[in-house]
């Protein structure tokens, strides 16, 4: 990275810390530290919700996902708007009315203390572990592409934000997320325009869509029904049905029961502003993801006219260069580069002839014939990396966008785009640290403390817990680095192991008024054990089920089992 990029990056990050410290001055009590005294306007709630959900990986991975697998990933978000509606009808009015700090406080009022402690504990376990991985995943990508030391990458990704999060609490989180989202939107928009600007003359958005469509990248809507038309592929991750049903349960669970999100909309000035923030999130999320994925298709089209590396993650090619495949790699690289040179020589004429619909279609087909040839070389590299003797990472998806940024974007913009990735991580992690701290003090320390605490002591403890969780997550990130590949997938799988059960507990609380604490507690423990068991079977290939469905199974399992247990245990029937 050049020194102007370093200056842009450093100024952006330091400016964000200063802004967080300046805006984060708040009253020295739990209401100020965790809820910003409930004075946040709707547009900051909206940006906070979006900033908490969108992590660094969202901006690294999504364009790469569209590049390799097409835009069907967008279906993952189809359940989200529907979940926003259910939240506004059922969850938010109750949370607001009870004036609670954490979502789990409600469960003690509805059921009992142990159900509250179990649910809050599951959240702390899941979030504490997954946040460490969320820091490590983008750090590994940045350190691989830019040659950064992994320890310092983890500190930049997950450590610096601790300064303003500890000092300013939810208010600092809300104000920095607002600014972060503006920089992120601005940076990604500029990146999109730069890709189009760098396409050959005569190739515009229409031609890009034709090229992407011919290559199968515009597979936005898929049904998951197998080609024989007779059965549904339950292992297919992203299709209309898994997106609407699985995505609905995942979004309902994430936004309704995950304190990192609940803590954002509880800070709103009023019930109306909480609702407005959530509903606008339901309106803008799908189009926003569409544009991020479209960026991946743009980058794909760009590489039809420019030299594409045989593998985007250069560190993995270096690994192969020191393995038993080193001679084969030299030969393959020579072959690949020759094919690329021939392909690129023909590319300008293809672009020039793409003026009519028929010629556009023929041009796209010629480009794709060359694309299939490239795919063969790439598959060989992936096969070598998958060799146990090499122990490489054959998943190149997360490196595509950032490699394009570092190779082709002008000086200064590279620093800004790397800042965008880091700020996306900060927004998400800061909200999580704030929520981990609020659950620790409100659901455990204060709840189980025998002596009442002063407001000042609660405030100082809240800061301490935020700091300790920050250190814990950094330590987890350092450990996660040793786990190796598939960290992003690990975050999703880990979330799906717990989210369904937590959602099931809340669904019973809201919609099954006759079901009591004992039935729901026993059900949650049994179903959680079952979900973990099935996750292990799924990972070992015994069960073929995509992780999104575990959200449905966990939630439905708790609802149905608690209903049955309530029938068996009539003496414990409770009516609230």
Partner 1 sequence: MDQEPEGKVPLFTKWNYWYILVAAFLLLNILLFYFLTKHFS
Q: CB of residue 42 vs partner 1: minimum separation in angstroms?
A: 8
Nearer to partner 1, 44 or 531 (CB): 44
218 binds partner 1 (CB under 8 A): yes
**Of 192, 200, 213, 348, which one interacts with partner 1 (CB under 8 A)?**
213
| Minimum CB distance to partner 1 smaller for 85 or for 190 | 85
Residue 32: how many CB atoms within 10 A of its CB?
A: 21
Q: Which of 6, 14, 99, 391 binds partner 1 (CB under 8 A)?
A: 99
Closest alpha carbon to 445 in 155, 117, 174: 117
Using CB under 8 A as the binding rule, whether residue 81 contacts partner 1 is answered as yes
- Of the CA atoms within 13 Å of residue 377, those in its CB half-sphere come to 23
89 scored as a contact of partner 1 (CB under 8 A): yes
Residue 238 DSSP code = S
Give min distance, CB of 357 to partner 1, in A. 11
Reduced to 3 states, what is the DSSP secondary structure of residue 232? strand
Residue 322 CB partners (closer than 8 Å, separation 6+): none
Q: How far is the CB of 176 from partner 1 (least distance, A)?
A: 26
> Would you say 288 or 530 has its CB closer to partner 1?
288
Binding to partner 1 by residue 62, rule CB under 8 A? no
- Of the pair 542, 575, the CB lying nearest partner 1 is at 575
- The stretch near partner 1 (CB under 8 A) out of 45-53, 54-62, 75-83, 543-551 is 75-83
Query: What size, in residues, is the chain?
Result: 576
Instruction: Give the one residue of 146, 271, 453, 468 binding partner 1; rule: CB under 8 A.
Output: 271
Number of residues in contact with partner 1 under rule CB under 8 A: 36
Interface region with partner 1, contact rule CB under 8 A, candidates 85-93, 136-144, 157-165, 384-392: 85-93
Q: Kindly write out the interface string for residues 288-307 of this chain, putting x where it contacts partner 1 by CB under 8 A and - elsewhere.
A: --x-----------------
CB of 108 vs partner 1, minimal distance in Å? 15
Exposure string over 397-430, b if 16+ CB within 10 A, otherwise e: bbbbbbbbbeebbeeebbbbbbbbbbbbbbbbbb
- Give the closest residue to 534 by CA, choosing from 519, 549, 555: 549
Site string for partner 1, 233-262 (x = CB under 8 A): -------x----------------------
95-103, 379-387, 451-459, 481-489 -> range binding partner 1 (CB under 8 A): 95-103
What counts of helices (H) and strands (E) characterise the chain?
25, 0
List Cα–Cα distances, 429 to 36, 120, 158, 312, in angstroms.
Answer: 18, 18, 7, 27
Q: Which is nearer to partner 1, 85 or 160 (CB)?
A: 85
Stretch that binds partner 1, among 88-96, 154-162, 309-317, 321-329 (CB under 8 A): 88-96
For residue 37, the surrounding DSSP H or E stretch is none
Dist. CA 425–CA 226, nearest whole Å: 37
* Distance in Å, CB of 399 to partner 1, minimum: 26
For partner 1, the closer of residues 78 and 399 by Cβ is 78
Q: Which residue number, 219 or 428, has a Cβ lying nearer to partner 1?
A: 219
First to last CA, the chain: 61
- Token pair listed for 124: 């702390």
Tell me how far apart the 2 most distant CA atoms of the chain are, in Å.
Answer: 81
Among 163, 183, 279, 344, binds partner 1 (CB under 8 A): 279
Give dist(CA 444, CA 448) in Å, integer.
Answer: 6
Name the burial class of residue 558, with classes exposed (0-12), middle (13-18) and buried (19+) by CB atoms within 10 angstroms of its CB. Answer: buried
Angle at the Cα of 254 from the Cα atoms of 256 and 183, rounded to 5 degrees = 110
Cα(517)–Cα(110) distance, integer angstroms = 8
376 binds partner 1 (CB under 8 A): no
Quick one: which of 173, 160, 162 has its CA closest to 26? 173
> Residue 149 is inside which H or E element, if any?
none
CA gap 274, 84 in Å, rounded: 11
Q: Which of 36, 126, 176, 219 binds partner 1 (CB under 8 A)?
A: 219
* 14 interacts with partner 1 by CB under 8 A: no
State the minimum distance, in angstroms, from the CB of residue 546 to partner 1: 20
Q: How far is the CB of 199 from partner 1 (least distance, A)?
A: 17
Work out how close the CB of 156 gets to partner 1 at its nearest, in angstroms, rounded to a whole number: 36
Shorter beta-carbon distance to partner 1: residue 11 or 221: 221
- Of 7 and 291, nearer to partner 1 (C-beta) is 291
Of 57 and 280, which has the nearer Cβ to partner 1? 280
How many angstroms separate the Cα of 147 from the Cα of each of 1, 33, 140, 483?
Answer: 9, 38, 10, 19
Q: Assess 363 for contact with partner 1 (CB under 8 A).
A: no
Per CB under 8 A, 8 contacts partner 1:
no
Applying CB under 8 A, the residues found at the interface with partner 1 are: 74, 78, 81-82, 84-85, 88-89, 93, 96-99, 209-210, 212-214, 216, 218-221, 240, 270-273, 275-276, 279, 282-283, 286-287, 290
């Amino acid at each position: 990275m050049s020194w102007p990029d370093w200056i842009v990056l450093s100024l952006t990050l330091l400016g964000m810390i200063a802004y967080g410290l300046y805006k984060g001055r708040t009253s020295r009590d739990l209401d100020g530290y965790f809820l910003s005294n409930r004075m946040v306007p709707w547009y900051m709630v909206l940006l906070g919700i979006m900033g908490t959900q969108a992590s660094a990986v969202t901006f690294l991975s999504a364009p790469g996902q569209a590049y390799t697998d097409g835009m069907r990933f967008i279906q993952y978000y189809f359940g989200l708007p529907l979940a926003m509606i259910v939240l506004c009808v059922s969850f938010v009015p109750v949370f607001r009315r009870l004036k609670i700090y954490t979502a789990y406080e409600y469960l003690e009022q509805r059921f009992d203390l142990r159900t509250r402690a179990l649910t809050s504990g599951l959240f702390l376990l899941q979030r504490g572990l997954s946040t460490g991985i969320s820091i490590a995943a983008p750090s590994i990508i940045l350190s691989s592409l830019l040659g950064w030391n992994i320890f310092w990458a983890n500190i930049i990704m997950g450590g610096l934000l601790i300064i303003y999060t500890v000092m300013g609490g939810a208010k600092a989180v809300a104000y920095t997320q607002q600014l972060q989202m503006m920089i992120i939107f601005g940076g990604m928009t500029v990146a999109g325009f730069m890709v189009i600007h760098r396409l050959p003359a005569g190739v515009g958005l229409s031609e890009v869509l034709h090229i992407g469509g011919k290559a199968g990248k515009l597979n936005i809507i898929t049904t998951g029904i197998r080609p024989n038309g007779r059965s549904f592929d339950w292992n297919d991750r992203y299709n209309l049905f898994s997106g609407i049903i699985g995505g609905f349960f995942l979004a309902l669970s994430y936004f309704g029961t995950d304190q990192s999100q609940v803590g954002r909309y509880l800070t709103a000035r009023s019930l109306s502003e909480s609702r407005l923030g959530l509903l606008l999130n339901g309106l803008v999320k799908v189009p926003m993801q569409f544009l991020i994925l479209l960026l991946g298709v743009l980058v794909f089209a760009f590489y039809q006219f420019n030299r594409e590396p045989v593998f985007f993650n250069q560190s993995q090619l270096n690994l192969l260069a020191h393995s038993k495949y080193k001679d084969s790699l030299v030969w393959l690289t020579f072959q690949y580069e020759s094919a690329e040179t021939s392909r690129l020589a023909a590319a300008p004429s293809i672009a020039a002839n793409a003026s009519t619909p028929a010629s556009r279609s023929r041009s796209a087909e010629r480009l794709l014939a060359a694309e299939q040839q490239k795919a063969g070389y790439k598959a060989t590299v992936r096969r070598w990396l998958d060799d146990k003797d090499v122990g490489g990472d054959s998943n190149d998806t997360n490196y595509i966008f950032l490699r394009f940024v570092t190779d082709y974007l002008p000086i200064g913009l590279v620093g800004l785009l790397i800042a965008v990735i880091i700020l996306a991580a900060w927004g998400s992690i800061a909200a999580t640290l704030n929520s981990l701290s609020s659950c620790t003090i409100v659901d455990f320390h204060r709840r189980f403390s025998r002596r009442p605490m002063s407001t000042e002591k609660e405030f100082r403890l809240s800061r301490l817990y935020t700091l300790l969780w920050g250190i814990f997550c950094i330590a987890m990130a350092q450990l996660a680095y040793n786990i190796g590949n598939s960290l992003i997938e690990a975050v999703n799988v880990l979330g799906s192991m717990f989210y369904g059960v937590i959602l099931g507990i809340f669904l019973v609380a809201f919609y099954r008024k006759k079901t009591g604490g004992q039935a729901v507690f026993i059900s949650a423990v049994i179903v959680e054990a079952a979900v973990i068991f099935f996750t292990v079977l799924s990972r070992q290939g015994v069960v073929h089920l995509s992780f999104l469905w575990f959200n449905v199974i966990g939630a439905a399992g708790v609802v149905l089992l608690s209903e049955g247990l309530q029938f068996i245990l009539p003496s414990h029937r409770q009516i609230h």
